[in-house]
Amino acid sequence: MDSTHSVPANPESWQEKAAKKRISCQKAIPTAWTLPKSILESLPEISGFPTTRLNLVARDIPRSSGILTERELEITESHSASSLLSGLAAGTFTSVEVTLAFSKRAAIAQQLTNCLTETFFEQAEERARHLDDLRLKGNPLGPLHGLPVSIKDSFQVEGTEACIGAVALLGRKSTENSALVDLLLDLGAVLYVKTNVPQVLMTVESDNNIFGRTLNPWNTSLTAGGSSGGEGALLAFRGSPLGVGTDLGGSIRIPSLCCGTYGFRPSSGRIPFGRQVMPLNAGIGAIVPTAGPMANDMSTLQVFMKAVIDAKPFVYDAASTHIPWRGINEPPHAKLRLGLLPEDPLFPLHPPVRDTIASVVSILKSNGHVVIPLDVAECHIAEASQISGRLLDLDQTPASIIKSGGEPAVPSITAMRENLGRIGRDFIPQEVDAMDRLEQFGALQNQRYAMAESWRKLWVKHDLDAIIAPSAQTTAMEHGQHGWPAYTMFLNMLDYPACAIPFGKATRSETSFTTDQNHCTPAYNPDTVEGAPCSVQIFTNRMRDEECLAVAAVVDACLRGDTTAH
């Protein structure tokens, strides 16, 4: 037997592989950035599956830890990406000091929320120093010159791992960058961390057997969402000025909802997606995932989209479309015509979500905008959930990756399977079950196309600029309790651009809420979710990304009380 292919006498267990990876990640945090023992001992138990309600944001631990200087606290807490870029261009900031400030804060966020996977702080500082030298010589690389950018674990960075929470993929160093990574580097960005995800990306809670569970900085007893949950938690903790996530069924917008941040899911092809590590058979491509920005303000979403699309993504990725950024700063109508997505009976909204939507509608109407309630029958939300669930279920790649690593599925993976069964199949003809997988794919795609045509007629009928919708039927939920992502998934199936906008916090509602076996919404616990971030979602028709962000900016300004809003 060839010794190079022989099986080791004592192969590592999946637990040993995972533990080894965790230890290496812990060692990558500089000793000087380790939280004092006194701070850690003052906190309740927050590891594992915490039930203790702890607001890490209110604790202001970055300040009390003494790890960040006053200037570093100001850099991370008082600036958007736009103001940082302006300061970098003017020489008010150096890339080295901005990168160091966010690196320190990300290290603290990791120790409290478990939001990171890979860290490359030293390499980031070296790059920042190089970028500062280029700036002094009058040779800036591009519109993101010197700005730290955090990215989801699925993106490949040469020399690091992209295991997407799967033991089977541990130990594989990337030999190339993802297309978007190359583009961001060419624009002058500084990459410094990668962020945690669910096991094989396939749930809306960021938990896996390697890195563990990411906690919500606003309430550690609640999920940070997924699959870009590490990004959401890091941004909420102000550990990043700009994050990049991906979205297959709500994976940008749900963490944005859970963590109180902004998030944008572009139409497929607008942002380069190539050379990522994904748990999908690319040849099936039932629902195409997209990459998009996450941030603490609306302007950063716009900065990212314009910078990336202006850089000609098709040069970096064959699947990217050659559609230049159209520079739409104003929506089509001075006073918006907005559809209001109805509450689907299969996915009833929790009281705080209903209250949020009602408040948003009231504010928009008071600003002179027109809101048109849509009929539940013409929106097909339940039907879309059933079709998209069945389409995704045709690809067995995620399950095979988990199995090949010898690890068990985490609870949220099992819960997602249960949710898939719970949404039913009322809209799918019974004869589909008797078809082979290729015929099933064709039949489901035909239903999908019919739904897209129905939505085309809806846009024309009501002459809409955009539609208002909940980001989910709930706020952030207790760990292990998040439901099927109905209000985001259907937009992925239609490939519509959508923006999540944070608005308010959940108050304790005395409104009764009941759920039964015919509902796909988790139980409502008012005491647990009180204070959780709330959100609204704005979406437009396919490839109208510029219009989506323009409308979202107007809506956001109204919600923030900006009197200059239309």
Q: Give every CB contact of residue 469 below 8 A, 6+ residues apart in sequence.
A: 341, 487, 498, 536, 537, 538, 539
Active site residue 152: yes
Mean pLDDT over each residue of the chain, to the nearest integer: 95
> Which DSSP category does 564 fall into?
T
Cα(340)–Cα(404) distance, integer angstroms:
45
Q: Are 108 and 35 in contact (CB under 8 A)?
A: yes
> pTM (2 decimals)?
0.97
With H, G, I as helix, E, B as strand and everything else as coil, classify residue 133. helix
Cα(483)–Cα(203) distance, integer angstroms:
10
Active site residue 13: no
pLDDT at 6 over 60: no
pLDDT of residue 289: 96
Cα(511)–Cα(499) distance, integer angstroms:
28
Length of the chain: 566
Active site residue 82: no
Task: Give Cα separations from 198 to 223, 409, 532 (angstroms).
Answer: 11, 11, 21
Place of tokens 């309740």: 44
Cα(162)–Cα(105) distance, integer angstroms:
22
pLDDT of residue 564: 64
pLDDT at 29 over 50: yes
**Candidate list 221, 227, 228, 471, residue with the active-site label:** 227
With H, G, I as helix, E, B as strand and everything else as coil, classify residue 402. helix
pLDDT of residue 330: 78
pLDDT at 4 over 70: no
Q: Give every CB contact of residue 430 below 8 A, 6+ residues apart in sequence.
A: none
Which residues, listed in sequence order, are joined to residue 537 by a DSSP beta bridge?
Answer: 469, 500
**Candidate list 152, 194, 268, 388, residue with the active-site label:** 152
Cα(179)–Cα(193) distance, integer angstroms:
17
pLDDT at 3 over 50: no
Which residues, listed in sequence order, are joined to residue 148 by a DSSP beta bridge?
Answer: 190
pLDDT of residue 52: 87
Lay out the sheet containing 533-539: strands in order across: 116-119, 190-195, 148-152, 243-247, 290-295, 262-265, 498-505, 533-539, 466-469, 337-340, 370-373
Taking only the tens place, the pLDDT of each residue in 385-421 is: 999 999 999 999 999 999 999 999 999 999 998 998 8
pLDDT higher at 509 or 429: 429
pLDDT higher at 100 or 514: 100
pLDDT of residue 547: 96
pLDDT band at 45 (very low <50, low <70, confident <90, very high): confident
Taking only the tens place, the pLDDT of each residue in 85-132 is: 999 999 999 999 999 999 999 999 999 999 999 999 999 999 999 999
pLDDT at 39 over 80: yes
Residue 427: how many other CB atoms lie within 10 Å:
16
pLDDT higher at 5 or 331: 331
pLDDT higher at 566 or 494: 494
Nearest to 233 by CA among 68, 46, 493, 371: 46
pLDDT of residue 514: 83
Q: Give every CB contact of residue 227 below 8 A, 6+ residues apart in sequence.
A: 152, 197, 198, 201, 202, 203, 204, 206, 245, 246, 248, 251, 255
pLDDT at 274 over 60: yes
Place of tokens 């749930």: 203
**DSSP assignment of 189-243:** -EEEEEE---GGG-SSS-EETTTEEPBPTT-TTBB--SSSHHHHHHHHTT--S-E
**Candidate list 103, 154, 240, 251, residue with the active-site label:** 251
pLDDT of residue 80: 98
